[in-house]
Chain A
Amino acid sequence: MPNLALAEGMTPVAVTLGALVLAVWVIAAALEVRRSERAGAAVLVSAVVAALCVAGAFFRPTRVKERGARLGPRVAVLVDQARRLRLPAEHGDRRSVALAAAAALGRRWAQAQVDVYGFGEQKLVPLSLARESTLGQLGEESDLTGALAELAAAPGERVRAVVVVSDGRFARPAESVDEAGLALAVGTLGVPVHTVRVTEQAPADASVREVSTVGAAVAHQPLVLHVTIGCAGGINCDEVPVVVRELRQGSSPAELARGTAHAGTGEATIDLEVTIERAGQRVIEVALEPQTGDRVPENDHRLLTLDVRRERVRLLHVAGRPTYDVRQLRLWLKANESIDLVAFFILRTNGDQPNVVDDTSELSLIPFPVDALFTQHLPTFDAVMLQDIDAVEYKLEPYLPALEAYVRSGGGLIMVGGPSAFAGGGYAGSPLERVLPVELPRGGEPYDLRGFVPRYTMAGRVAPVLGGVRQLFGEDLPLMEGSNTLGKPRPGSIVLWEHPERRVGDIAMPVLALGEMGDGRSIALGVDATHELGFGELAERTSGRAYGALWDGLLGWLMRDPRYEAGRVSLDGPCIAGEPASFELVPPPGATGELAFTIERLGVPAQTVFSRSLRSAGSSEHVDAGRLRAGGYSARMRLGAAPPTRLDFACEDGGRAYADSRPDPARLIRIARATGGKSVTPDELGELPLPPATEVMVERRASALLPPWVWALAAALTLGAHWLLRRRAGLA
């Protein structure tokens, strides 16, 4: 049915003004006719007709034809895409059930606009159920509250209903929220939120549901781990052994604590006290003994990367004899408030004649507690400094295997030169030599008497370790009175100073070298006169600050202080077994060159699982390392000849998302009830009500009642006629 429309395109002000002028004109004409004795009805009629014709010319009336249609309502289907949905449902896994339910809803509500989205802990993502590539996981947790808020804020047609397809174990709204809070959390849209419960039965599963710590992890200090063990799906966990281990590079996992959880068919929390001796990122495994019938073995253990801090660096400084070099190092160590120093110096040898009758009452000397230091107390030290001490004379030999194991399991070692250091101290061919960054010669002179000035290598010039010394002295270094004979650097070690004249094979002999051995780091310093940087003619130029700069760098690097690392490696997100893991590699500012990136699996045997070389332009690089298996890993980045930067991390099977495998159908029912929706199983989709259709206009056609010139002509003619009639009636 066509409608009539006036003044299309004109502003309301113009329309009002036009209508007002015409009305005033007609009223004025009527008053004139009434006052006049001669004017008759013809004048008034002509005025009205003329006014109508002028109105037609002014308002241009049009004929409008419109056609409407009924459209299906817009419905948003939110499919839970958290990693947890890979857990088993009654039939298959929950994700398959959820996707099948979403597809079935699309078919069932073909007349409606059904938009399918995936939600997790990130932004909503439109899903195309036919394209697997769009169905990626969206994280560890499900944030339904955030997803509904995002949907409400989205532009476009408002949804008339929401259908949530999930197992109900959301991070938000939380399980503990009351009804009022729930309505607030999921009622943002003001429309019914229906829910589809993809599973209602917990699988038979015993799991490590949660591991938390009381306070921060500090090296050498006890740390309590709260471990929550849960059993569901018919598994009875009356006595479940739980063990905590530390995964280490190049060695077997070290057991830190063990306990038993009594969870029955519910949940139990046990406190396990662990002491981690090494600072930095340490990979800890919390595992329960697998239970018979467990359908989700992936969550029987959790892998955590603990960032273990140091309150103070605990150092063992052992010196074979007191010298100015020992003095300078001790003064520096003692002046450093962040160092907890335990020192033992050999002050008397068997050949010395102190001229006393009674050693114990006349001398202040105590026996060198070599056994206690290198067995019982060794793991409590962050680093050991062996300064010019003879391993044979002072009976260190039996403890060198323990020192090797100490370094491989994460300890730091510095061997400082002198006549009784390195080969001169009987270390050549010993287990300790294997964790030094350089080989030691088995024959020949153990040291050389010629004085020399050490020379920086290319690596030494760019290494942050020596940045402080170079800032003070540039290329200058003090004269050293002789040098220990050091062999070739071990693979992966870095030489920072070299001898300008002495050679090892076809290369210059190392003087200062750094190396990574297993989980630990070691430094070889083949001279005994670095004290000249602190007290000497050259040192006086800088008030002795170069000595502190050197040892700050050496000890800082040994303790993995980020300031002395050549760059930074970090994971782009949590590492989940079987999913792509990517890393950000950040070289030091301005550093360019060949960048080598490797990933090694922690434990024995050492196994390189990923390796790539790329050209660094000085900016950060992202490297996709592919899909890793569950376990602990050590990633290393090396830029050119600089010392490597290391990141230890864990890849979990499912991670936090798998920790609690129980669905929460009750929460889905509460959500539906709170919003006036309905909660169903995938078999009951037919019970979900479809919102009513929406009426929309799809076509509108407008045509002028008369052409504009006709209205203009009619207005002119009628106005002319009216003017003639007025003149005849004697009006002005």
Chain B
Amino acid sequence: MSTGTRLGRRTFAAVLGAVTFAPERAFAFGEAGAFRARLLAAGKGRPDDARVAGTARWGSELVRRTSAPAHEEPETVAADRPAIFREPFAVWCGTEDVGALSLSEVSGLERFLRLGGTLVVDDSDPVSGAFGRSVRRELLRALPESPPVQLEATHVLFKTFYLLDRPYGRVLGPPRVEAIVRGRNAVVLFLAHDLLGALARRGEGWAYGAEPGGAEQREHAIRFAVNIAMYVLCSDYKDDVVHAPFLLQRRGRAR
């Protein structure tokens, strides 16, 4: 096999901590389609540096565990800037009420989602739930015809790479995920588990402890993050008929 120059095929950058605001793109061949957990900036409040670093960790875990390519440098995109359309995935996290979004932000989010983008709404303080509630409120302005619904436990999200029985994060949170579904696809996932909190890094270590499950819960949270990335990249691939007999057998064995 001719390998050629395969520099940067799967690992494109390992610069952690340096938050860039949608820089001019300069990818190499094969990078344009790589996964990136971009942070969405909209309304009030911004995530802490540890969670920002968590988005990079999300990419590196994906690269280490799967064949999917991913960008490992953090990037933040504003809802009202054209850069939001450069890639079809973004994660929006926070701890407090985001306030009323500007019209341009609502419009940007609406166009992003209608074009086929996927958004993860990750509540960093699910105990208060203020962030999650405010985002639901503001997203209803963008997609008034699509209220959130609960995803079934059999949803493809829980089998896109790992076989999981529920969502995980820094906190255990509710056993189900709510989502805005358009057509066949869940375009907005509402997480009340502080997923980025489980991935958050401070220096060489984890920024926050995972409660109550500790390391095992963090591992499950990482697996859930990988599954979300695979859902973004492959949509409902694991729901294809060819996979059904295998997955039924494995779920049975796991129980």
Chain B residues whose C-beta falls within 8 Å of the C-beta of A481 in the assembled complex? 25, 27-32
Interface residues of chain B: helix, strand, loop or mixed (majority): loop
A427 to nearest B CB, angstroms?
A: 9
- Once A326-B233, A424-B2, A447-B4 are accepted as A-B contacts, the answer to whether A364 and B85 lie under 8 Å apart by CB is no
From A322, A324, A480, contact of B67 by CB (8 A): A322
A residues in contact with B254, CB < 8 Å: 361-362
Q: Chain B contacts of A330 at CB under 8 A?
A: 234-235, 237
Q: Name which of B114-122, B124-132, B137-145 contacts chain A.
A: B114-122
Considering the chains assembled together, what is the distance between the CA atoms of A363 and B254 in angstroms?
10
Alpha-carbon gap, A354 to B163, bound state (A): 12
Chain A residues near B238: list those with CB within 8 A.
364
Q: How far is the CB of A531 from chain B (nearest CB, A)?
A: 6
Separation of A483 and B4 alpha carbons in the complex (Å)? 13
Closest to A393 in B: B1
A514 to chain B, nearest CB (A): 23
B238 CB to nearest A CB, Å: 6
CA distance A535 to B2 in the complex (A): 32
Given contacts A324-B33, A345-B237, A451-B27, contact A364 B1 (CB under 8 A): no
Encode contact with A along B89-122: 1 for CB under 8 Å, 0 otherwise.
0000000000000000000000100111100000
- Across-interface contacts of A363 in B (CB, < 8 A): 161-163
Selecting from A47-55, A539-547, A705-713, the interface stretch reads A539-547
Of A353, A364, A529, the residue contacting B161 (CB under 8 A) is A364
- C-alpha spacing A150/B206, complex, angstroms: 97
Closest B residue to A532 using CB positions: B32
Contacts of B163 in A (CB 8 A): 361-364
Q: Mark B227-248, 1 if CB is under 8 A from A, else 0.
A: 0001011111110101100110
Contact B32 A347 (CB under 8 A): no
- Contact of B66 with A by CB under 8 A: yes
A324 touches B88 (CB 8 A): yes
Which residues of B have CB within 8 Å of A528? 29-30, 32-33
The answer to whether B233 touches A446 (Cβ under 8 A) is no
Count the A residues whose beta carbon is within 8 Å of the partner chain — how many?
A: 70
Query: Is B87 close to A, CB under 8 A?
Result: yes
Residue numbers in A under 8 Å from B30 (CB-CB): 323, 388, 418-419, 447, 481-482, 528
Given B25, B67, B232, B234, which contacts A349 in the complex, CB threshold below 8 Å? Answer: B67
B68 within 8 A of A: yes
**Cβ B68 vs Cβ A423 within 8 A:** no
Residues of chain A with a CB closer than 8 A to B162's CB = 354, 356, 362-364
CB-based contact B243/A366 at 8 Å = yes
Chain A residues, Cβ within 8 Å of B235: 327, 330-331, 334
A205 interface hit (Cβ, 8 Å): no
Q: For B2, list chain A residues within 8 Å (CB).
A: 423-424, 426, 428, 443, 446
**18 A–B contact pairs at CB < 8 A?**
A323-B33, A323-B68, A323-B69, A324-B32, A324-B233, A327-B232, A347-B68, A355-B65, A428-B2, A447-B29, A480-B32, A481-B30, A483-B29, A529-B32, A537-B82, A537-B85, A539-B85, A540-B115
User: 19 extra interchain contacts, Cβ-Cβ under 8 A, other than A345-B237, A540-B85?
Assistant: A322-B234, A325-B32, A331-B116, A331-B185, A342-B240, A347-B68, A347-B230, A352-B67, A361-B253, A362-B163, A418-B30, A424-B4, A425-B1, A446-B3, A481-B25, A481-B28, A528-B30, A537-B83, A540-B115
Residues of chain B touching chain A, judged by Cβ–Cβ distance below 8 Å, are 1-6, 9, 25-35, 64-69, 82-83, 85-88, 111, 114-117, 159-163, 183-185, 219, 222, 230, 232-238, 240, 242-243, 246-247, 250, 253-254
